[in-house]
Amino acid sequence: MQPDLASNQLEAPQGRVERRKARTRATLLAAARHLFATQGFEQTTIRDIAAQADIALGGFYNYFRTKDDVLSALLGQALVQQLRLLTFRQEQVDDVAERVSIAHRHLLAAARQDPDWGWLLVRMDVDHHVIDSVLGERAGEDLHEGLHAGRFDVANPELALRASGGALLAVVQDVLRGVFSPDDDCAHAEGVLRAFGVPAKEAAKIARRPLPALPEEDR
C-alpha cells in the first residue's frame, strides 16, 4: 500500500503548530511563575506576564482567559511534580513516622533548590492554601495511620496537621531568606515528630536518616 502523502503533508505542519503552542504556553507559565514568586500574585498583571514572556498581550488570551487561570495551571503543574517526587521517596520506607519526616525535609529541600517554587509556595499559601494541597490528603492519612498504630499521640489531629503545615511554611520562608542551613531541615522534621508524640531520642534519629533517593532522571 502506498503511503498517504496528502495525509502526511497535513500532519507535519499541524504537529509543528501544536509544538509551538505548547512552547508558548510553557513560556507564559514560566514567566508567571517567576513574577508571582518575586512580586506576588496581586501585584502581577497580565501585561507583566506577557512582557516577561516576550509575547504580545493579545497572544496571552489564546492560552488563558484570566490571571487566575494561569495560577491554577501553575499550581497544578508545580504540585503534581513535587507530589510525584515526594511519593516516590515515601514509598521506599514502611515507618509512618519516617514518611512524615521525609515529607517535610523533601519540601524544604525543594524550596532551597528552586527558590522561585519556594516563594510561589509562600506567597500563594495565604489565599490558596497551598500547604494543604501539597501535604493534603496523604499527610492526613499518615497522621491517622500513626495514631491508629500507636506511633503518634496528639489530642487534636486536625489542629496538629495544620500546626505542622504552618511550621513548614514558616521554615520555608526562613530557608529562602538564608536563615536556615540544610542541616536545619532535620531539626524541623524532628520538631514535627515530637509534636506528633514521637519520643525525643527516636524523633531525632528518624529525622536524621538519609532521604531516600529520587528517581534517576530527577537527580
pTM of the predicted model, to two decimals? 0.77
Answer yes or no: is pLDDT of 133 > 60: no
Provide the H-helix boundaries in 129-208. Answer: 130-148, 157-176, 183-195, 200-207
Q: Among the three residues 65, 96, 121, which one is the final residue of a domain in this structure?
A: 65
**Cell triple for 1:** 500500500
In the predicted structure, residue 114 carries a pLDDT above the cut 90: no
Instruction: For 183-202, write each residue's pLDDT tens digit.
Output: 899 999 999 999 999 999 99
| Residue 14 pLDDT grade (very low, low, confident, very high; cuts 50, 70, 90) | low
Q: Which of 72-76, 105-109, 117-121, 133-137 is least confident?
A: 133-137
Residues 3 and 86 in one domain: no
User: Do 50 and 77 fall within a single domain?
Assistant: no
- Of 9, 38, 65, the last residue of a domain is 65
Confidence band of 37 (pLDDT split at 50, 70, 90): confident
- Of 128 and 65, the structure prediction assigns the larger pLDDT to 65
- Cα 58 to Cα 62: distance, rounded to the nearest angstrom: 7
Instruction: Say whether both 163 and 83 belong to one domain.
Output: yes
Please say whether the dihedral angle defined by the alpha carbons of residues 192, 197, 200 and 201, taken in this order, is positive or negative. Answer: negative
145 and 52 in a common domain:
no
Top mean pLDDT of 71-85, 109-123, 151-165 is at: 151-165
Cell 511563575 appears where?
A: 33
Report pLDDT for 194: 97
For the record, the C-alpha cell of 84 comes out as 510525584
The burial of 43, by beta-carbon neighbours within 10 Å (0-12 exposed, 13-18 middle, 19 or more buried), is given as exposed
| Pair (77, 26) in one structural domain | no
Confidence category of residue 219, pLDDT binned at 50, 70, 90:
confident
Residue 80's pLDDT is 78
